[in-house]
Each structure stands twice: as C-alpha cells, then as structure tokens.
Amino acid sequence: MSEDKSTPEIAALPKDKQPFWSQAKRALHFRCPNCGEGKLYQRYLRQVDECSVCATPLGKIRADDGPAWLTILLVGHLTVPLLLEVERNATWPMWMPMVIWPLYALALSLIILPFAKALFITILWRKQ
Ligand SMILES: [Zn+2]
C-alpha cells in the first residue's frame, strides 16, 4: 500500500490529468508512474514489461539516449567545478587525480542514470 494517501485518487485520474510531478515522484522511487505500486525496473536499467499492479505497458517505452544525455549533463556540472576547486589546492601525486576523478564520474553516472531513465519513462509514458 502506498504511503501517500492521495495516490489512489490521483492514480484513478487519466494520466494526462494527473500532476506530472506526482507521476515523476513515483518513477523516481522506481515505481510505476501510473499507480506508484508496481516496480518500474526488473533489473538495474531494464524496465518491467508491464506494471504488476495496474498493467501499464512500461516495457514498450524507449527512452533511447535521453537518460544518458541528462546524466552526462548532471555529472559534468557536478564534477568539473568540484574537480577545479579540489585540484587548485591539491598536493597529491599526479596519478591520484587520474584515478580518482574518472572513478568519481563513473560512480556518479551509475547512480544518476536510473533516476534519469525513470524521469524520461514518465515523460514518454505521459505523451503516449
Ligand atoms: Zn502501475
């Protein structure tokens, strides 16, 4: 059962009448953007074919390069200013930033990517 008491009432509305951010919030919790109950992903980035609760067909939605674009945009803006600030005063050996910063960017990308995909799935599902 959802913790949000308004979710069943909102979910009963047609998808284009529901508030976008309510749907996006459900998807960002990796739940079906329609009902907020069923899972959005069956694995890391593999979405379910359809919601197990409301049968919304989520597997046919192809986000393509959108989530990668958003992830690169966010990771770049989160990494470069931090990198410049840290490297300005750093006294560590040259090999350390060459190892640390790519690992930092990779980890941040892997964390942000499922959230970016959930957001794109919500947008594309609303436009169907
Ligand atoms: Zn659902």
What's the whole-number mean pLDDT along residues 58-65? 94
In one-letter notation, the amino acid at residue 12 is: A
In a domain, 1, yes or no: no
Cα–Cα dist 101/80, whole Å: 9
In a domain, 103, yes or no: yes
Q: What is the pLDDT of residues 92-103, one digit of tens each?
A: 999 999 999 999
Q: How confident is the model at residue 3 (pLDDT cuts 50, 70, 90)?
A: very low
What's the predicted TM-score (pTM) here?
0.85
Which residue in 56, 54, 44 sits closest to 118, CA to CA? 44
Q: How confident is the model at residue 12 (pLDDT cuts 50, 70, 90)?
A: low
Helix, strand, coil % over all residues of the chain, rounded to 5: 55, 5, 40
E strand or H helix that includes residue 113: helix 95-127
In a domain, 70, yes or no: yes
Neighbour-count burial of 68, counting CB atoms closer than 10 A to its CB (0-12 exposed, 13-18 middle, 19+ buried): middle
The percent of residues above 70 in pLDDT, for the chain, comes to 91
Distances (CA, A) of 110 to 22, 27, 68, 74, 80: 24, 17, 10, 12, 17
Q: What is the pLDDT of residues 80-119, one digit of tens each?
A: 999 999 999 889 999 999 999 999 999 999 999 999 999 9
Distance 57 CA to ligand 1 centre (A): 9
Distance 27 CA to ligand 1 centre (A): 10
The percent of residues above 90 in pLDDT, for the chain, comes to 81
What's the whole-number mean pLDDT along residues 14-42? 93
Q: What pLDDT, on a 0 to 100 scale, did the predictor assign at position 16?
A: 76
Cα–Cα dist 101/83, whole Å: 7
Distance 62 CA to ligand 1 centre (A): 17
pLDDT at 2 over 60: no
Residues 31, 39 contacting (CB under 8 angstroms): yes
Distance 33 CA to ligand 1 centre (A): 7
- Arithmetic mean of pLDDT over the chain: 90
Q: How many domains does the chain have?
A: 1
Domain region containing 108 = 7-127
Give 10 or 121, the one with higher predicted confidence.
121
In a domain, 28, yes or no: yes
In a domain, 2, yes or no: no
Helix pair angle (95-127, 20-28), 10° resolution: 130
In a domain, 88, yes or no: yes
Distance 111 CA to ligand 1 centre (A): 24
